[in-house]
Every structure is written in structure tokens, then in C-alpha cells.
Chains A and B, each alone.
Chain A
């Protein structure tokens, strides 16, 4: 769908914050990758990207600085495609990326889409990458895929700020204002990021979570808390609660087809006890989800966040003052979360294309306070649980995957060797 022909647009309510707080050490970039069953050709990938961008005109933008807010302006430069030569989810430098807020790279059989969060959230980033992959495969296998019904792939979207459209002025959420346990340990040198993917057998995992009567996200959240507790909290004699932030796609709760960000979050907060084991952590997480993952609670959290951005005093504040105050507030706010776990769920692919695709990967940038971030996606019979970390120590990751293996769940480990 084409949007109204306007040369610029405002950032949505949550996107406004990312350019203010981001920098080289806090990139607010996430990555979706796809692993094909064939080597990637740079020329074909470039062609595919250009074709897809014509259908995703809203992604043909650059970030500009206004007096009060940043905004998005049409970008007529060529998008850049290059071989992967840096750690994933790194800060996207506008000067070396022709101003685009996403970056397409490739390595061997893998296509990466790194996205600055002001552009969109995981939901539409996945759709964008899927389109690139479909088009890539159509160019590289024209005879096999010529009969494909392209209408099935028409991506419908708007650019509305669904936060503003759907928030309720009267609702108030309980703010998350208590400090969390912050992971300890030595950081990796040279701004390196360690990536560990656990490729998990979905069928077996489903059996285990069914037996426990929980969802996959609840199970992973509990296991993450347990792993942090066993591998870091105990070692460093932690006192504060372990708090896991879980983003929630608001499109499930509201009728929205916006390509802009539209997510909120819940925070699972577990005060640790000496007698805690995995089963009682799981029981706690299940109950906490039940309390917090309700339509009413989600709307309350969203509305509270939106009201902050629509406050007239904040609106009237010049950008340089906003930047100063928000950066200072964020030094504190970032300490309210131990780690983030984001699950974008199942990535569905049109059946004719499946034989060319091996897997999908989802990664989020870690940073100096939230040193570990976790992300989950699933494709066919695989669930890929990814740890991105700036910590040298890999004990949390090892504890997590070892526990799964003990439950007879098959896990294949892949990493970037850092």
C-alpha cells in the first residue's frame, strides 16, 4: 500500500525516544537474519532490495533533526548492500549507510537485516525481510517460482501512530521504578558482541511446556531467570530482584496495520530466595504473566507511556534540552531491567519457498547496563533462542542450554566465536 505522498512524517510515540538515547554503545538496533540453502549473491540481493523498497516506501527514509523532535524524511539515495564485516546489531552510521535506518548485509548463506528501532518494530521488520527473501529467490530461481501468486504477498500497512490512535487518557499504569539486579562480570574487549544461538527442537519443547501447562515464552522466561540466578546472581551475591522485560506486540490487542512501532512490554519481577528452583520460578512466572499480560494491564502501561510523550511541556522543550534530560533519566531507567526477552513467534513462509530456506535468526543489541539480551523466533520445527552479550563469561548461556538438554530437548549450538 502506498502512503500519502508527503516528503516527511513524524516519528511514532515510542520511536521518538530511540534517536535521543542511542549511541555507539547503545545502538537500539535489532537484527533479523535468514539462512538460505545456497550462497548469497550480492548483485541479486541488491536487485531484490531495490524492488522490495518500492513496495515499502515508508522504509525509504532518513532521520532528520528538528527543533523539537526528530522526524523521518524521504530518502532518494541508493540503499547499500555489503558483506557482513562487523558484529551484529551495531549502531547504524547514517554517513556510511546513505542515511537509511536499516542495513542489509550478507555472509555465506545468510542475509541480515539490521534495523534501527525508530523505523519499525520486529513485526514489520520480519515482513520486510521475508519480502527481500521472496524476491531474491524469484530472481535466483526464476523458473521454479514463476507461477507464484504475487497477490498473496501484498503487504498492507499504514504509517499512523497507533499509540496516539488507541491510548486512553484516563488509564494509568503502575510505573516500573525499582532497580533490578544488574549482571556482573568482565566485558568483552573492543566493543565486541558475543552471539550464541540455541536451535531447539520445537516438537519436543512443545511436549515439555504442555506437560508443565505453560507457554513457550513463560518457560523461557523462567529458565532465563533460573540461569541468571544460578550463573551470575549467586556468584556475585545479588540482592535486588531479577527483572525480565518482555515486549508485547500491541497489534494483537488493537486493530492496527501500522508499519511504525506498536509494542508495549511487561516486566516479570522475581525476588530471589535461597530455596528457589526452576519449578517454583516457573510457577511464579506463570502467575505473573496471568496478572500482567491482560488487555487492561497492557493498555494501562501503553497509555502511561504515551501520556509522557504527549505532555505539552515535553512537546515544547527544544530537542537539545530533551536529549539532555532524557539521557540523564535513562541512566537510571536502564537499571530497572536485568535482561530483555523478546519472542517474535513463528515466521511463516509460502510453501513453495520453504525448500530454499534453512532458518531464521533474531537478535537484539546488548548494552552496557543490560549486558545480555535474549530473542526468540521459530521457523518450521526449530525454535532459535539467541543470547547476545557483551560479557566474557558464558555461564548463563551454558546453564540455560544445559538445562534444556537435561529435559531431553535437542539443542544445536551455533555462535559467532566471540
Chain B
């Protein structure tokens, strides 16, 4: 016999399908309760977004070989979006962009710096994600320039942290960064 019998090739997909169905069912039930109880805020929307966040995290994390820096970048992005939505749902006060996101970005930058110190040899695999996280910080500056942020204290602290970390990173890994950019932008 030259080949094995292939069976249940779709089984894992079926299990994922069942889990997605259960989550949709839970979301539906929560939204129904929310409507029936006449709550002041749409708490069912928060729980539904949380379920989506859980799925994105699970799907991204179970992929073997996922780059740790890309996980930090993805988490930074989706938690930031989650914070904005949360702020919006409970009556927009601006705490998401003025406080939460700058703090998340600072944590992400510090984590990237920790990775650089712990795993210097593998840092070339993480550079591009560090650059993107730094880009998120610059995006906060743009928001400020367009008057979308009133209280900029936390944002400034976050930007200063990211610039200091970026300068130290360039000093330590300048050659690697140049090589990485050459690779990524070769024609």
C-alpha cells in the first residue's frame, strides 16, 4: 500500500464551526436580554465585542510559529480598537484616546524593548513590528494635531518613551535595522 486512507479531514473545521455557532448563540441571547431589560448602556455589545476579541486572540495564538512581536502588535491594535468602542458605547468621554491607548502603546514599546534585551539575536525578526508600533505612536500625534485629543499629558509621556526606546534600539541594532529595511524593500 502506497498511501494512507485519509479520513475526517474536515473534523477540526467542524469543531471550530460548532464553537463559532455556540458563541453566536450566546451573543444573540445576551443581546435579547439587553433589549428586554431596557438597560442604560448597551452592555450586550461590549460582551459581543469581547467574544470577537477572544476569537481573534485564540486564532492568532494557536498558529504555531507566530512571532511574539507580531502578537504584541496585533494585541496593541485590537485592544486599542476595543477601548475606543467601549468608550463610545458607555457615552464617549475621550478616555480611550487620551489615557487608555497611550498607556497601551507605552506598555507595547516597553515590551518590545524587553524583547530586544532578552533576545538580541532574534531581534531582526521583530524590527518591522517595532517600527509599526512606533508608527501607532506617531498616529497619536496626528490625532492631537487635528484636535481630536484634548488632554495630551499621557500621550506626550507615551511618545517620549517610544522615542527614547527607538533611539536606544537604533544605537544597538542600527546595522540590523538597515539590513531588515533592505530586505523588506528590495526591488
Chain A residues with a Cβ under 8 A of chain B? 7-8, 10, 35, 64, 66-69, 71, 73, 77, 83-88, 94-96, 98-99, 107-108, 110, 190-192, 195, 197, 315-316, 361, 414-418
Nearest CB in chain A to that of B3: its residue: A416
B2 & A35 in contact (Cβ 8 Å cutoff): yes
Q: In the complex, which residues of chain A have a beta carbon less than 8 angstroms from the beta carbon of B93?
A: none
B3 & A417 in contact (Cβ 8 Å cutoff): yes
Q: Give 14 A-B contacts (CB < 8 Å), ordered by A residue.
A: A7-B124, A66-B186, A69-B187, A83-B4, A85-B4, A88-B3, A95-B64, A96-B64, A98-B64, A107-B3, A108-B1, A197-B2, A315-B187, A361-B2
* Chain A nearest Cβ from B181, distance in angstroms: 9
Nearest CB in chain B to that of A316: its residue: B187
Given A7-B124, A95-B63, A95-B66, CB of A86 within 8 Å of CB of B6: yes
A69 & B186 in contact (Cβ 8 Å cutoff): yes
Distance between Cα atoms of A418 and B3 in the complex (Å): 10
Q: In the complex, which residues of chain A have a beta carbon less than 8 angstroms from the beta carbon of B6?
A: 85-87, 192, 418
- B187 CB contact (under 8 Å) in A35, A68, A191: A68
Q: In the complex, which residues of chain A have a beta carbon less than 8 angstroms from the beta carbon of B187?
A: 68-69, 315-316
List 18 additional contacts besides A7-B124, A68-B186, A85-B4; criterion CB under 8 Å.
A7-B179, A7-B183, A66-B184, A67-B184, A67-B185, A68-B185, A71-B183, A83-B4, A84-B3, A95-B66, A98-B65, A108-B1, A108-B2, A195-B3, A197-B2, A414-B2, A415-B3, A416-B3
Q: Does B40 contact A (CB under 8 A)?
A: no
Distance between Cα atoms of A414 and B3 in the complex (Å): 9
* Chain A nearest Cβ from B104, distance in angstroms: 26
* Chain B nearest Cβ from A218, distance in angstroms: 28
Q: In the complex, which residues of chain A have a beta carbon less than 8 angstroms from the beta carbon of B63?
A: 95
Distance between Cα atoms of A98 and B10 in the complex (Å): 22
Distance between Cα atoms of A75 and B138 in the complex (Å): 33
Q: In the complex, which residues of chain B have a beta carbon less than 8 angstroms from the beta carbon of A316?
A: 187
B10, B179, B183: residue with the most chain A Cβ atoms closer than 10 Å: B183
* Chain A nearest Cβ from B94, distance in angstroms: 33
* Chain B nearest Cβ from A348, distance in angstroms: 22
B65 & A95 in contact (Cβ 8 Å cutoff): yes
Distance between Cα atoms of A50 and B186 in the complex (Å): 31
Distance between Cα atoms of A113 and B2 in the complex (Å): 14
Distance between Cα atoms of A64 and B67 in the complex (Å): 12
Q: Does B171 contact A (CB under 8 A)?
A: no
Chain B residues with a Cβ under 8 A of chain A? 1-6, 9-10, 63-66, 124, 179, 183-187
Distance between Cα atoms of A87 and B5 in the complex (Å): 9
Q: In the complex, which residues of chain A have a beta carbon less than 8 angstroms from the beta carbon of B64?
A: 95-96, 98
A86 & B9 in contact (Cβ 8 Å cutoff): yes
Distance between Cα atoms of A108 and B183 in the complex (Å): 42
Q: 8 closest A-B pairs (Cβ-Cβ)?
A: A416-B3, A95-B63, A66-B184, A315-B187, A67-B185, A95-B64, A8-B183, A68-B187
Q: In the complex, which residues of chain B have a beta carbon less than 8 angstroms from the beta carbon of A10?
A: 186
Given A87-B6, A195-B3, CB of A66 within 8 Å of CB of B65: no
* Chain A nearest Cβ from B2, distance in angstroms: 5
Distance between Cα atoms of A316 and B65 in the complex (Å): 31
Distance between Cα atoms of A7 and B4 in the complex (Å): 38
Q: In the complex, which residues of chain B have a beta carbon less than 8 angstroms from the beta carbon of A191?
A: 9
Q: In the complex, which residues of chain A have a beta carbon less than 8 angstroms from the beta carbon of B65?
A: 77, 94-95, 98-99
* Chain A nearest Cβ from B118, distance in angstroms: 17
Q: In the complex, which residues of chain A have a beta carbon less than 8 angstroms from the beta carbon of B10?
A: 190
Distance between Cα atoms of A205 and B56 in the complex (Å): 57
Q: In the complex, which residues of chain B have a beta carbon less than 8 angstroms from the beta carbon of A67?
A: 184-185
Q: In the complex, which residues of chain B have a beta carbon less than 8 angstroms from the beta carbon of A414?
A: 2
* Chain B nearest Cβ from A30, distance in angstroms: 16
A416 & B183 in contact (Cβ 8 Å cutoff): no
Nearest CB in chain A to that of B10: its residue: A190
* Chain A nearest Cβ from B17, distance in angstroms: 14
Distance between Cα atoms of A83 and B65 in the complex (Å): 20
Nearest CB in chain A to that of B64: its residue: A95
Distance between Cα atoms of A84 and B4 in the complex (Å): 7
* Chain B nearest Cβ from A197, distance in angstroms: 7
